[in-house]
Copies of this chain bind each other. A is one copy, B any other.
Amino acid sequence: MRAPRDGARGVPDATVARLPVYLRVLTGLGERGVATVSSEELALAAGVGSATLRKDLSHLGSYGVRGVGYEVARLVQHVGRCLGLAEEWRVVIVGIGSLGRALANYSGFAPLGTRVVALVDSDPAVVGERVAGLEVLPSSSTARVVGELGVRIAVLAVPAGAAQAACDAVVAAGITSVLSFAPVELQVPAGVELRSVDLSTELGILAFRERRRAATAGELPGELAGSAPRTGSSAGGAR
């Protein structure tokens, strides 16, 4: 019994995953004073094909001008609004170890309308400490913090062994969007959106490709069938 992969007519998942990238590129162009951009240029900068880009934007009811391109400022507004940039998405970070601290101090939150408003940790030795201008609160106050501060997103930066419990706790507190950095597969009830970023998974994927490259180059005894001379760059994001 798994998630019934949408289908309801909104924006395709693959498109949603690229919107933040477009927004970032567009913002950069805007800051550099670029007024309009063609789908070709924008696609190149974002690392996708131009047809993909145009189709993606068309899902948002695009604002381009035929024969000219897209007005950068206008498109920034538009994509930003679709991503919810007009509102502020309040975030709680759970687990204030070295990763949690790095995330708390990370400056890249603001551009997409998210703001860290609370830090919690289960270790009494850490509670009360000030990190990135915020006092670390005990885990027991999670529910209260979520309710009072209007937190909508939880970022889990706890060890693998503590992740499921931490996840259950934030879900119980009413959180419906969770981003986990813990190297375990978390189970969440239907209706809770879970994304999971894991260093070892990413490295594993890179190692697989490196390995295949080596194998096809004849350096290693090829254990995998197939005869692919393909190289190919690519990939990223939240696939």
Contacts and interface: CB of A to CB of B under 8 A. Distances in A.
Interface stretch (A20-28, A66-74, A122-130): A20-28
A194 B87 contact: no
A232 B3 contact: yes
A193 interface: yes
B235 A185 contact: no
A192 interface: yes
A60 B112 CA distance: 40
Interface in A78-127: 81-84, 87, 89, 91, 97-99, 101-103, 105-106, 108-109, 111-114
A201 B2 contact: no
Contacts of A65: none
Contact of A235 (B10, B194, B205, B229): B194
Given A7-B230, A21-B185, A108-B160, 15 more contacts: A2-B47, A4-B230, A6-B232, A16-B205, A20-B198, A82-B223, A83-B211, A87-B211, A102-B102, A177-B206, A193-B206, A193-B209, A193-B234, A195-B206, A202-B238
A204 B98 contact: no
A173 to B, nearest CB: 15
